[in-house]
Amino acid sequence: MSAVTVDAPVGEGRIGVRANLRHIGALARRNALRIKQDPESMFDVLLMPIIFTLLFVYVFGGAISGKGHQHEYLNYVIPGLLAMMGMNIAMSVGTGINDDFKNGVMDRFRTMPIARSSVLIAKIVVEMGRMLIAVAILLGMGFLLGLTIHTSVSMLLAAVALAMLFGASLMWIFILLGLTMKTAQAVQGVAMLVLMPLQFGSSIFAPPSTMPGWLEGFTKYNPLSNLADASRALVNGGAVAHSVWMTLAWTVGITAVTAPLAVAKFRKKT
């Protein structure tokens, strides 16, 4: 993700791109060291892909593909879960930002001669690293249970890259939410109200053709459905272009709207 040059606080001059990148690198290292000091914060990344894979394959798989044919559901649900990983990890960014303000960490950053965007971008960089680990575990579980790639390794990597890009855009939404809500619990509560309809009202777990007409219509406009369909086509073969371009359009649109709002909110938050 490219750094954005923004105006520095009064009296500090303008921060260049090179300096901004150094600040992002230093802040990302700081965030990574915090994870090293608190390894329990990685439990969601390490366990969530395993639990979700086993749960949905052996609970939904029999209902959709027939009892004893759960392995056939693998190639449907694993690409869909790529979309789910990004959204669940993005939620933790919002609660983390909220907690950092409560602890006074963000107040210290705002007194330093660094671009305000660098603090938030560094958060996203580290969370994307966590997401990459979660995706690797998800795919590892998939292959262990019998996932088959019907296209090529490069297409699988393209599906992962697409999920990572979309996940990064979602992080801006949850950063903005974390900066807006008063408590981390409130961030989680609102996030779940958003997550549940988007995740289950999509093509991640079941074909939209099995849903009522009104819900099937909703899934067509759900960005998670576009990402799930794109990932599925990249892994299993089929028409790719429309779903990929729709996912990229959502990614650019979400980032273009929420990133400036999040940086502005970060400057003004007390």
Q: What is the average per-residue pLDDT within 118-142?
A: 91
Q: What is the average per-residue pLDDT within 6-33?
A: 68
For residue 214, being part of any structural domain is answered with yes
Does residue 110 or residue 134 have the better pLDDT? 134
Whether the per-residue pLDDT at 168 is higher than 90: the answer is yes
Host domain of residue 196? 17-268
Does residue 23 or residue 107 have the better pLDDT? 23
Whether the per-residue pLDDT at 183 is higher than 50: the answer is yes
C-alpha triplet 116, 120, 122: angle, nearest 5°: 110
Residue 205 φ then ψ, to 5°: -105, -25
At 69 the pLDDT is 64
For residue 8, being part of any structural domain is answered with no
CA-CA distance, 180 to 94, in Å (whole number)? 10
Q: What is the average per-residue pLDDT within 88-112?
A: 78
CA-CA distance, 220 to 224, in Å (whole number)? 9
For residue 9, being part of any structural domain is answered with no
pLDDT in tens, 169-178: 999 999 999 8
C-beta separation of 181 from 262 below 8 A = no
At 30 the pLDDT is 84
For residue 162, being part of any structural domain is answered with yes
User: Binning pLDDT at 50, 70 and 90, where does residue 270 land?
Assistant: low
At 120 the pLDDT is 87
Whether the per-residue pLDDT at 209 is higher than 90: the answer is no
Across 37-41, 88-92, 111-115, 214-218, least confident range: 111-115
Name the domain count of the chain.
1
**Neighbouring residues of 3: CB distance < 8 A, sequence distance ≥ 6:** 17, 20, 21, 24, 115, 117, 118, 121
For residue 10, being part of any structural domain is answered with no
Whether the per-residue pLDDT at 162 is higher than 90: the answer is yes
For residue 176, being part of any structural domain is answered with yes
For residue 192, being part of any structural domain is answered with yes
